[in-house]
Amino acid sequence: MTSLPGRAAFRWLEDRAYNVYSQFGEDGILAAIFEKLGTCNKWVLECGASDGVFFSNSRKLIEEGWFGVLVEADPAQFEKLTALYASTLEAERVQLFQHRVSSSEPGGLDVILSAANAPRSLDLAIIDVDGQDYWLFNSLLKHRPQVVMVEYDPNAPVDFVPPINGEGQAGKKAIIDLGVGKMYWPVAMTTTNIIFVQQELAHALAEPVDEPDGDAAQPQVPAFEPRVAAVMSTPRIGFLSTMDCIGLAIHRLGMSWFRGEGAFWSHALTRGIESAIKSGHNLIVTIDYDSIFEHDPTNNAIAKLICLMMDNPDVDVIVAGQMKREGGPLLATTKQEVKLLEPLIPIQQGHFGLTIFRASVFDRLKKPWFYEQPNENGEWNENRIDADIGFWKNCEEANINVQMSLDVLIGHLELVVTWPGQDLKPVYQPINNWRDVGKPSEAFDRQRVLAAVRANPALLYSPKLEMGG
């Protein structure tokens, strides 16, 4: 594990505490941090800005020339916030958002920052919403502030994490552990706030100390830092709807993308995964060319999978919920009773439509990762093992922990043929079914219509046809 300074190396920051607008000395601590580190762009986000003055942690900085993105949900407080910046010189540098950010959807703060055209590495983010602070910090994926200040409840159990959109506020240790997992380091703590800096900046703030650090709860730096890549094996011609999803989703998350082509799906996917791992990525998201999924800034299927993986360090693979084409079942198999209300469901076999893997999985699998085998007669018919099934058997033999999330659902694109039915309403037929049986029996048949009219002459007087171009 990386060695980072203990609490004692940052005590000097708390000695610099003072208030101009803040409550517990945060104004002075932040001033000392940026005096030491310098600033990159002088952008600050404050979520829970209240009236912009009372116990504000951003007001002093905005008065000093910073750009502000201020978010407040309460209508009365937002009215005061609006009045504050209606006639001040700072107004042109401040953007106000009356919005209650949902903690259940990854990217809630990211979408606001994107709407404000804030830099990805803004200097400071302040999260102070008196409740869901933990989850809002957790959902911040696209933007990575230099410094983050998060409110905690000093009276809560130190490990307490409130339910998503539930009551209560996280305890001190829960916030610290989350920050460390997101590659931040706690450098100062006030009565209600923990101030983090990016781990790579911690040494620049530390001062030499002779005294031993007596904080037994000093966090440890995890070996895992999320670096995510998307990998895709594609035919030379595919669905543009899928490409739209991929382009928007990975762009919004700032992910790398490795796309391969070739006659053999498994070969291209293997090469893409190998390239992603060689480039230093430790989370791999596979995407099939016929998958569609949510990619909005506030509802991003890939972001949800990343958060699930970060929240479940013992899980190796998480598969999104997807149906087999042509009316088939879920693309997953399990040997045990499934509890659909659980956030994750253990499975033996999944799919690659939208699935996240720890890179370490591939060190544990025998090569080739994907293998295929004909049936006992040497034929590629029933009882064969296709490359994807061979992969999941490989995972089972290596005791890979594979789970499925029904909180992340993706669509499965397929070609269908549309026919006019007997009532001249659409009849949809999967393309493979058409190849097998031809035109469906539900399609319009004039002879059947004539027979029906003979049996019931009233059917002859039907509404006028509406012809479309």
Q: Are residues 149 and 287 in the same domain?
A: no
Q: Are residues 181 and 295 in the same domain?
A: no
| Nearest-10 crossing angle of helices 301-311, 240-253 | 50
**Structural domain contains residue 345:** yes
**Separation of alpha carbons 343 and 134, rounded Å:** 19
Q: Are residues 59 and 115 in the same domain?
A: yes
Q: Are residues 151 and 244 in the same domain?
A: no
SS3 at position 33:
helix
- The CATH number of the domain holding residue 350 is 3.90.550.40
- Structural domain of 437: 416-460
Query: Strand pairing of 295-296 and 283-288?
Result: unpaired
**Separation of alpha carbons 220 and 213, rounded Å:** 14
pLDDT number for residue 101: 72
> For residue 421, what are the β-bridge partners?
443
CB within 8 Å of 469: residues ≥ 6 apart: none
pLDDT number for residue 467: 43
pLDDT number for residue 216: 44
**Structural domain contains residue 88:** yes
**Structural domain contains residue 239:** yes
Count structural domains, the chain: 3
**Structural domain contains residue 375:** yes
User: Closest Cα partner for 201 from 135, 256, 144, 142?
Assistant: 144
Q: Are residues 128 and 241 in the same domain?
A: no
Q: Are residues 427 and 403 in the same domain?
A: no
Q: How many Cα atoms sit within 13 Å of 177 on the Cβ side?
A: 13
**Structural domain contains residue 211:** no
**Separation of alpha carbons 325 and 334, rounded Å:** 19
pLDDT number for residue 297: 60
pLDDT number for residue 396: 93
Q: Are residues 335 and 422 in the same domain?
A: no
- The CATH number of the domain holding residue 97 is 3.40.50.150
Residue 232, both tokens: 């895709």
Residue 55, both tokens: 């116990």
CB within 8 Å of 268: residues ≥ 6 apart: 233, 234, 260, 261, 262
**Structural domain contains residue 333:** yes
Residue 44, both tokens: 């600050």
pLDDT number for residue 460: 62
Q: Are residues 435 and 316 in the same domain?
A: no
pLDDT number for residue 307: 81
pLDDT number for residue 132: 84
pLDDT number for residue 59: 92
Q: Are residues 164 and 293 in the same domain?
A: no
pLDDT averaged per 10 residues, the chain (length 469): 72 92 93 93 92 90 93 90 81 85 64 88 91 85 90 90 85 88 88 91 84 53 65 82 82 78 88 90 92 79 86 91 86 80 88 94 93 89 90 94 92 91 86 89 84 73 48
Q: Are residues 284 and 349 in the same domain?
A: yes
**Structural domain contains residue 213:** no
pLDDT number for residue 229: 85
**Separation of alpha carbons 176 and 392, rounded Å:** 37
**Structural domain contains residue 217:** no
Q: Are residues 172 and 48 in the same domain?
A: yes
Q: Are residues 405 and 258 in the same domain?
A: yes
